[in-house]
Structure 1
Amino acid sequence: MATAGKVIKCRAAVAWKPNAPLVIEEIEVGPPQEGEIRIKIVASSLCHTELFHLFEGKDNRGFPTILGHEGAGVVESVGPGVADFKPGDKVIPVSAAQCGECRFCKSPKTNLCERSWLNYHVDLMSYPTTRFTCRGQPILQFTGTGTFSEYIVIRQMYVVKIADDAPLDRVCLLGCGVSTGYGAAVNTAGVTPGSVCAVFGLGAVGLGAVMGCKNAGASRIFAVDINEKKFEKAKVFGATDVLNPKAYDKPISEVLAELTNGGVDFSLECVGNTEVSRAALESCVKGWGVSVLVGYTDADFSAKPIQLISGKTWKGTLLGGFKLKDSLPKLVNDYMTGKIMLDEFITHKMDLEQINDAIHLMKTGQCIRCILTISK
């Protein structure tokens, strides 16, 4: 392309500081260096992880930054040493590295990678080096991606090539939230046919978990949330029962125990709330119940040891346990052949300039996923 090897000026939504609206700016995006790829981002969704970093953080580390990590686009150019990608390839940039060389990448037991930003720069939620500049200063790339920009430069171990006919404004959802919930059910929990499940929290991650439970063959799926407006959507993804904890004068774990003869086989906490995490564990049947922590929080929490001594298992998951470079092409194919749903997660569509409106919708629980058109 004519822009290869040159600095590109483009639009991006910059978060200059926490607890403030994003600002649409003209930024400069440098050419890719060794092992890097420059991508034109076509579409991106908004995930609650952005809200956590922007509004719930406690200091200015990690700013200024360009948020966004559920995007999809087209390769514009590649740097030296990149052999598996070429200009024109459709791709999904992801926030979890897969170098393919470290002990974690070589193990089938985990999707962690020793070379991920997560291991060294978790306070920034970004690598300290960046190809973004604006107003003469470097701008960080949130989770190494930064998809609220028309162009990004990203290391090739964070890029997944997908089918040429994949709709980018749909499959971008697979970059984080949907895959996280879906994988938490089918990979981490290992939901079995005929089992009884409970999913706590019905955002995109929770609805992905409901879909995973259904596809794994669960016979009964309880969808738990205090926002009853989400109940009908949960049924679309496979929920058989819906529960609002505020509608009962006893703990929701006791309600579930009464409804299931002692507790559910699998529970998935998709909120990122310590009280909900404990309730999800206590909702499991003793002896073999499995509870998975899916929602993110950095708060401390605890549980009574008897919950685990009685035979329950408490597990955590990152991005649903998927090695994304390996798994995303199959998930894209599963969507295109009707095995998983994506369109049903989308409640709003907006342009990049409307990003603060999209943030408001997510903060107030008025949307599941909003798709932003980044480039046209």
Structure 2
Amino acid sequence: MSTAGKVIKCRAAIAWEANKPLVVEEIEVAPPKAHEIRIKICASGICHTDDHALGAHMAGMKYPTILGHEGSGIVESIGEGVTCVKPGDHVIPLCSPMCMKCKACVHPDSNFCIKNDVGKNVGLMLDKTSRFTCKGKMIHHFMTSSTFTEYTVVDEFAIVKIDPKAPMDQVCLIGCGFSTGYGTVLNTAKVKPGTTCAVFGLGGIGMSAVMGCKASGASRIIGIDINKRKFAKAKELGCTDCLDPNDCEKPIHEVIVEMTDGGVDYSFECIGNTDVMVSTILSSHYAYGSVNIIGVPDQHARMTVDPMYFLTGRIMNGAFLGDYKAKESFPSLVKDVICKKIDLDALVTHKVPLEKINTGFEYMRTGQCIRTVIEM
């Protein structure tokens, strides 16, 4: 029986309030309105940004909400006027959507659409309403995607069609973690062959950055983390050296400067810690180092730096979603996964059902995983 045009009852993990475990509840998902799409979610990665939102570390967060922004799924139904997909198409919902019309979208050096909800956290569809209800209460959306649910609804500009041959439990990571780390190396820093790199933080984003450094032909890739359990995987993915700052007698940036004759060519901060961001700056070569900030800090965090860090020649970049214009670039990344050019399976260390989502969060918080994927 077709569900098009009808309310769907399904399960979702709801964040009823900040700093509380998610609760799997039965929710009602309304049909898509004009220029909206309802998706049956197949898989969703658990990202640190979800934990930031759950911990009220993101400004303006609204509760209750359905988190999750790293998903893959199949179009169940479409609203009037939708032309980019049809029911049955395999898709990735976009946490950083693109209207492809605004000044930011058409700019060659930007992928941050003016309609993006990142930083605003309105938590609603473009018409300022929600498609989720539970126990008669309206539930907010999250980052234009909300993937911790069996069904979600997104605006037409927040979706991209992908090859149906793609493994859904892997390509969901393209929705955020993988594209963020990998893309920052290729698109933002533009790492050159034969150069040196330092990657601070070996979680899902950091490991993806390591993969990007290797793909770019970097000759030396130094991974930094206080969790030594991650070092074997980091070396498997491309790290030539791994360092635990707690094992060093000197500040970690001094160790890296000595190892690389003045500092690395490219450094990447993949944690969201402002102290580590400063170390990332100082680990790069003072005359020409490229510093790349990827990690999302607490909303109240601030960083104080000496202007001389940059007056000598360093540059610092920030990037969201690896500077990929997702509508244009994600399908080709998916094809690279299908043809084995990119191994996303190496990043998926744990899989859990929706009922075990809080266990998945614990795996992430305690450093037991690279990426945990929820299979619906």
Identical-residue share of aligned pairs (%): 50
SS at match of 1:104: helix
Deviation of 1:43 after TM superposition, in Å, equals 1.0
Deviation of 1:125 after TM superposition, in Å, equals 5.5
Paired position in structure 1 for 2:249 = 249
In structure 2, relative to structure 1, the CA distance for the partners of 1:58 and 1:103 (3 Å cut) is: closer
Asked whether 1:90 is paired with 2:87, we answer: no
Paired position in structure 2 for 1:146 = 146
Deviation of 1:373 after TM superposition, in Å, equals 1.3
Paired position in structure 2 for 1:224 = 224
Paired position in structure 1 for 2:337 = 335
In structure 2, relative to structure 1, the CA distance for the partners of 1:188 and 1:67 (3 Å cut) is: same
SS at match of 1:141: coil
Paired position in structure 2 for 1:312 = 314
SS at match of 1:66: coil
Asked whether 1:351 is paired with 2:372, we answer: no
CA contact (8 A) 1:200 1:269 kept: yes
- The residue type paired with residue 329 of structure 1 is P
- The residue type paired with residue 229 of structure 1 is R
In structure 2, relative to structure 1, the CA distance for the partners of 1:364 and 1:347 (3 Å cut) is: same
Superposed counterparts of 1:268-279, under 5 Å? 268-279=268-279
Deviation of 1:222 after TM superposition, in Å, equals 0.3
Paired position in structure 2 for 1:212 = 212
In structure 2, relative to structure 1, the CA distance for the partners of 1:58 and 1:174 (3 Å cut) is: closer
Paired position in structure 2 for 1:193 = 193
SS at match of 1:143: coil
Deviation of 1:61 after TM superposition, in Å, equals 3.8
Partners of 2:218 and 2:142 in 1: how far apart? Answer: 36
Deviation of 1:59 after TM superposition, in Å, equals 8.5
Paired position in structure 2 for 1:33 = 33
Q: C-alpha offsets along residues 137-195 of structure 1, whole Å, 9 cap, x if unaligned?
A: 11011112111111111011110100021111111111001110001111111100100
In the alignment of these two chains, the number of paired residues is 372
CA contact (8 A) 2:53 2:61 kept: no
Partners of 1:40 and 1:79 in 2: how far apart? Answer: 15
Paired position in structure 2 for 1:19 = 19
- The residue type paired with residue 333 of structure 1 is K
Deviation of 1:302 after TM superposition, in Å, equals 1.6
CA contact (8 A) 1:43 1:169 kept: yes
- The residue type paired with residue 275 of structure 1 is D
Deviation of 1:344 after TM superposition, in Å, equals 0.6
Deviation of 1:26 after TM superposition, in Å, equals 0.8
SS at match of 1:142: coil
SS at match of 2:284: coil
CA contact (8 A) 2:177 2:208 kept: yes
Q: Which moved more, 1:50-59 or 1:107-116?
A: 50-59
- The residue type paired with residue 250 of structure 1 is K
Deviation of 1:126 after TM superposition, in Å, equals 5.4
In structure 2, relative to structure 1, the CA distance for the partners of 1:253 and 1:331 (3 Å cut) is: same
- The alignment's TM-score, normalised by the length of structure 2, stands at 0.96
- Can you give the 5+ residue segments of structure 1 that lack an aligned partner in the other structure? none
Deviation of 1:57 after TM superposition, in Å, equals 3.0
Paired position in structure 2 for 1:43 = 43
Partners of 1:331 and 1:107 in 2: how far apart? Answer: 21
SS at match of 2:105: coil
SS at match of 1:255: helix
Paired position in structure 2 for 1:171 = 171
CA contact (8 A) 1:18 1:60 kept: no
Paired position in structure 2 for 1:361 = 363
Partners of 1:118 and 1:170 in 2: how far apart? Answer: 24
SS at match of 1:199: strand
Paired position in structure 1 for 2:259 = 259
CA RMSD of aligned residues (A): 1.4
CA contact (8 A) 1:18 1:57 kept: no
- Can you give the 5+ residue segments of structure 2 that lack an aligned partner in the other structure? none
Paired position in structure 2 for 1:75 = 75
Question: 4+ residue stretches of structure 1 with deviation over 4 A?
Answer: 124-128
